[in-house]
């Protein structure tokens, strides 16, 4: 036995931040750390349409007998056209329900490893869990720099250069929209160039779409994913309903594969089922069942979309408010208005982040990532004052 070889690992810094925020007695404390949507009252409520779907589920569900490793097939079937439009012919697509977007990423990573793909290219900074997920499945994450945090810009040339450097058959991870942690997405021209390059170089795109509907709008947020997946021979799409249905802890997601033809697609599907079986046997049901009820009922679907739209509008308004703070010292907040979704990353050092926490009870990730949804009008002003005090 070699348990002695194990060492104590540091707790996830963001989880530690949650604890520190909770224990902070200062009434004016501001949480920009945790990556969940917040409404104007600072809450992360169950969406109204989801609540109604849950009530219906409770009233009508007459068995909790096992489903299969594919999970709720009706959920996947209802979601697919909304996510992918007509980008990929149905016979080339295979999809299964997964435990959240994380489960989809892990399952996709294992499928890639099984298919002999050994490397995945990841532009940094990225969601901190990406590299560990791919590494855990046996892939080598190839990180490359494609963001300039100081100017809040995506370096499209660096991104395309990495695709040129990647070997045919390598995979590349692409955030579908609302990039976490920068909020900076490719524009339509860059998406077209990425799609062209992925096809020409024979790469396997792995799109992570975790925030559809929270950026520019439902279809606009999936346009990049659709453009890339329409042109690849093989590709993957990891999807999360945990933000756009506010289902977070219910762990609701899906994974789709794109294959060259129906026969190849059936092979991928059978491998997805086998991998799911060996990982979690079958995904948790509740969130997907509730989302399916919403999607299959026109009135509930419209109610959910309207609520999602209002969440998106809140983010847009808050972004404009933060952006209006302008430039404070060397920190330029103006580009925040052009970002998408919940996150932005500010050019702050770790010690500046710590100073804001100690002196102003402003909590954010050590990387300088802020959750835009954590603000309200008053706290934006207070944030500006704190940044002024920081740079003085």
Q: How far is the CB of 98 from ligand PLP (least distance, A)?
A: 9
Cα pseudo-dihedral 368, 132, 251, 83, rounded to 10: 80
Q: Which is nearer to ligand PLP, 208 or 303 (CB)?
A: 208
- Judged by CB under 6 A, the chain residues 225 through 244 that form the site for ligand PLP are 240, 242
β-bridge pairing 252-258 and 331-332:
unpaired
Residue 208 touching ligand PLP (CB under 6 A): yes
Residue 182 touching ligand PLP (CB under 6 A): no
Please identify which residue in 253, 321, 339, 368 interacts with ligand PLP, judged by CB under 6 A: 253
Q: Which part of the chain contacts ligand PLP (CB under 6 A), choosing from 4-12, 100-108, 140-148, 363-371?
A: 100-108
Q: How far is the CB of 25 from ligand PLP (least distance, A)?
A: 28
Q: How far is the CB of 180 from ligand PLP (least distance, A)?
A: 4
User: What mask of x and - would describe binding to ligand PLP in positions 47 to 86, judged by CB under 6 A?
Assistant: ----------------------------------------
Q: How far is the CB of 127 from ligand PLP (least distance, A)?
A: 4
Residue of 31, 72, 121, 127 marked active site = 127
Q: How far is the CB of 87 from ligand PLP (least distance, A)?
A: 20
Residue 389: both structure tokens together: 């005090």
Query: Minimal CB distance to ligand PLP: which residue?
Result: 100
Please identify which residue in 180, 265, 323, 367 interacts with ligand PLP, judged by CB under 6 A: 180
Q: How far is the CB of 253 from ligand PLP (least distance, A)?
A: 5
Residue of 52, 121, 242, 243 marked active site = 243
Q: Which is nearer to ligand PLP, 80 or 380 (CB)?
A: 80
- Judged by CB under 6 A, the chain residues 124 through 153 that form the site for ligand PLP are 127
Report the 3 state secondary structure along the chain.
Answer: CCHHHCCCCCCCHHHHHHHHHHHCCCCCCEECCCCCCCCCCCCCCCCHHHHHHHHHHHHHCCCCCCCECCECHHHHHHHHHHHHCCCCCHHHEEEEEEEHHHHHHHHHHHHHHHCCCCEEEEEECCCCCHHHHHHHCCCEEEEEECEECCCCEECHHHHHHHHHHCCCCCEEEEECCCCCCCCCCCCHHHHHHHHHHHHHHCCEEEEEECCCCCCCCHHHHHHHHHHHHHHCCCEEEEEECCCCCCCHHHCEEEEEEECCCHHHHHHHHHHHHHHHHHHCCCCCCHHHHHHHHHHHCHHHHHHHHHHHHHHHHHHHHHHHHHHCCCEECCEECHHHHHCCCCEEECCCCHHHHHHHHHHHCEECCCCCEEEHHHCCHHHHHHHHHHHHHHHC
Q: Which part of the chain contacts ligand PLP (CB under 6 A), choosing from 99-107, 185-193, 291-299, 356-364?
A: 99-107
Q: Which is nearer to ligand PLP, 69 or 181 (CB)?
A: 181
Within a 13 Å sphere around the CA of 181, how many CA atoms are in the beta-carbon half? 25
Residue 102 touching ligand PLP (CB under 6 A): yes
Residue of 170, 185, 208, 376 marked active site = 208
Q: Which is nearer to ligand PLP, 100 or 108 (CB)?
A: 100
Residues that bind ligand PLP (CB under 6 A): 35, 100-102, 127, 175, 180, 208, 210, 240, 242, 253
Active site residues per annotation = 127, 208, 243
């Amino acid at each position: 036995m070699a348990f002695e070889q194990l060492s104590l690992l540091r707790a996830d810094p963001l989880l530690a931040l949650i604890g520190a925020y909770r224990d902070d007695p200062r009434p004016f404390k501001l949480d920009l750390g945790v990556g969940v949507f917040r409404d104007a009252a600072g809450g992360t409520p169950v969406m109204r349409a989801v609540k109604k779907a849950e009530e219906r589920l409770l009233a009508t569900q007459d068995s909790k007998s096992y489903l299969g490793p594919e999970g709720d097939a009706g959920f996947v079937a209802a979601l697919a056209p909304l996510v992918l439009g007509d980008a990929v012919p149905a016979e080339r697509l295979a999809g299964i329900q997964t435990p959240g977007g994380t489960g989809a990423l892990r399952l996709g990573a294992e499928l890639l490893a099984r298919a002999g793909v050994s490397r995945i290219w990841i532009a940094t900074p990225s969601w901190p869990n990406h590299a560990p997920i791919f590494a855990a499945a046996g892939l080598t994450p190839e990180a490359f720099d494609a963001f300039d945090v100081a100017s809040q810009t995506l370096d499209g040339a660096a991104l395309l250069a990495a695709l040129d450097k990647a070997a045919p058959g390598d995979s590349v991870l692409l955030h579908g929209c609302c990039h976490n942690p920068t909020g900076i997405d490719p524009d339509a021209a860059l998406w077209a160039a990425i799609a062209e390059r992925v096809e020409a170089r024979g790469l396997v795109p792995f799109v992570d779409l975790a925030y559809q509907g929270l950026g520019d709008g439902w279809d606009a947020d999936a346009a990049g994913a659709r453009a890339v997946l329409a042109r690849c021979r093989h590709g993957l799409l990891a999807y999360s309903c945990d933000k756009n249905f506010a289902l977070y802890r219910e762990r609701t997601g899906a994974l789709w594969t794109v294959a060259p033809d129906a026969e190849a697609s059936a092979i991928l599907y059978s491998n997805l089922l086998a991998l799911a079986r060996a990982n979690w046997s079958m995904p948790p049901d509740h969130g997907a069942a509730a989302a399916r009820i919403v999607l299959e009922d026109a009135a509930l679907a419209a109610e959910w979309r309207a609520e999602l739209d209002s969440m998106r509008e809140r983010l847009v308004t808050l972004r404009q408010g933060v952006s209006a703070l302008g430039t404070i010292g060397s920190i330029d907040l103006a580009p925040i208005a052009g970002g998408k979704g919940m996150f932005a990353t500010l050019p702050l050092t770790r010690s500046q982040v710590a100073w804001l926490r100690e002196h102003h009870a402003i909590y954010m990730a050590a990387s300088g990532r802020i959750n835009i949804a954590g603000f309200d009008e008053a706290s934006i002003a207070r944030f500006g004052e704190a940044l002024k005090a920081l740079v003085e």
